[in-house]
Amino acid sequence: MGRLAVAAAFAVLTFAAAAAAETYPSRPIKIIVPTPPGGPVDVMARLLTNAIGPELGQSVVVENKPGAGNIIGSKIAADAPPDGYTLHVSSVSGLILSPLIHKNPGYNAESFAPIALVTETPQVLVATPNAPFKDVKELVAYAKEHPAKLNYSSGGIGTFPNLAAELFKKVTGTNIVHVPYKGGGLALNAVIAGEVQMTFDTMGTSLPLVRSEKVRALAISGKTRAPELPNVPTMRELGYPELVTGAWTAFVAPKGTPENIIAKLNAATNKALHSEQVEGTLKKLGSQAVGGTPQDLTSYLSAETAKWKPVLEELHIQAD
């Protein structure tokens, strides 16, 4: 009787889970973003949120949980019930770098069920307009002549701008001081205000500031020049092929989320990303819509981990 009771209970739970997946979503959905409002990940998350809500027939809201190099928000999302009502939009910083850099982050990329890769965006090295250099050549020369006098900002240890800047320092043989902030938006504001001289940022958030001359674009990390900034050289052109890198945003759910729900979210995401409105907006931001299957994102995350892990080890970047 005991075994029959257990089997019956399991069957009831399985049926309930399947029924819930069939009616999903029946209430509003929350997407946790591990960065403050205004940063690159937040911008992409809100664009996605506005687009998938109508596709799913429910309101979708963003909840920002910044801090500790994306760890706070990512951990909250990883620990959320796997019912499809608390989801997560993050980046290479939150999903790959921070779990590798921090000793006990409490999560990693495998703590999530992949939904889809949202966007890919080249990085741009930007500087405050009153910096004592006008291009990368002058920046390197000044930094070598004045060690530890220049500062760069990032959203914290383990974020992509931090890693990109540290790799830049290693490749160029310069000593530039890291000033961490609580997110990419604040790090970029620090450059605008002249609190620091430079940062690496996604082109999407920097592009309007470059056009309004609030910051100066020095170089692009993409493989080719960006059509939006045709006069800005690539790092490869400047003799630094090691600095050909890019940022991305991914849409994931807590591990254990039912496959039916993942499939619905994936379909809604792909339809939204490849709509004329979203693709047009992303193009203006210097980003490219990606999409694809959950399996595509699984492979992508594995490849990113394999790429960045040896770099982190070589640079001895450790937060704890």
pLDDT confidence of residue 8? 55
Would you say residue 223 has pLDDT above 90? Answer: no
67 domain residue, yes or no: yes
Cα distances from 197 to residues 128, 179, 181, 183, 187, in angstroms, run 5, 10, 14, 17, 11
Dist CA 172 CA 175 (whole Å): 9
Tally of domains within the chain: 2
CB 29 within 8 A of CB 84: yes
Residues 86 and 180 in one domain: no
Q: Which of 184, 210, 243 delimits the end of a domain?
A: 243
Residue 159: give the domain boundaries: 122-243
Would you say residue 6 has pLDDT above 80? Answer: no
Of 229, 152, 150, 231, nearest in space to 188 by CA: 152
Q: Which of 243, 272, 291 delimits the end of a domain?
A: 243
- The CATH code of the domain that includes 182 is 3.40.190.10
Categorize the per-residue pLDDT at 141 as very low, low, confident or very high, splitting at 50, 70 and 90: very high
Q: Which of 188, 213, 243 delimits the end of a domain?
A: 243
Long-range pairs, 225-234, Cβ under 8 A, ≥24: 226/122, 226/124, 226/286, 228/203, 228/284, 228/286, 229/124, 229/203, 229/286, 232/124, 233/136
Residues 133 and 71 in one domain: no
CB 257 within 8 A of CB 84: yes
Dist CA 279 CA 104 (whole Å): 38
Residues 186 and 263 in one domain: no
320 domain residue, yes or no: no
Categorize the per-residue pLDDT at 3 as very low, low, confident or very high, splitting at 50, 70 and 90: low
Q: Which range has highest mean pLDDT (37-46, 179-188, 257-266)?
A: 257-266
pLDDT confidence of residue 1? 46
Would you say residue 214 has pLDDT above 80? Answer: yes
pLDDT in tens, 253-282: 999 999 999 999 999 999 999 999 999 898
Residues 177 and 275 in one domain: no
pLDDT in tens, 188-208: 999 999 999 999 998 878 989
Would you say residue 7 has pLDDT above 70? Answer: no
Provide the residue type at 210 as one letter.
Answer: V
Tokens 């890693």 locate to: 163
Q: How many whole angstroms from its chain centre is CA 66?
A: 13
Residues 233 and 308 in one domain: no
**Can you point out the beta strands (E) in 65-111?**
86-91
- The CATH code of the domain that includes 264 is 3.40.190.150
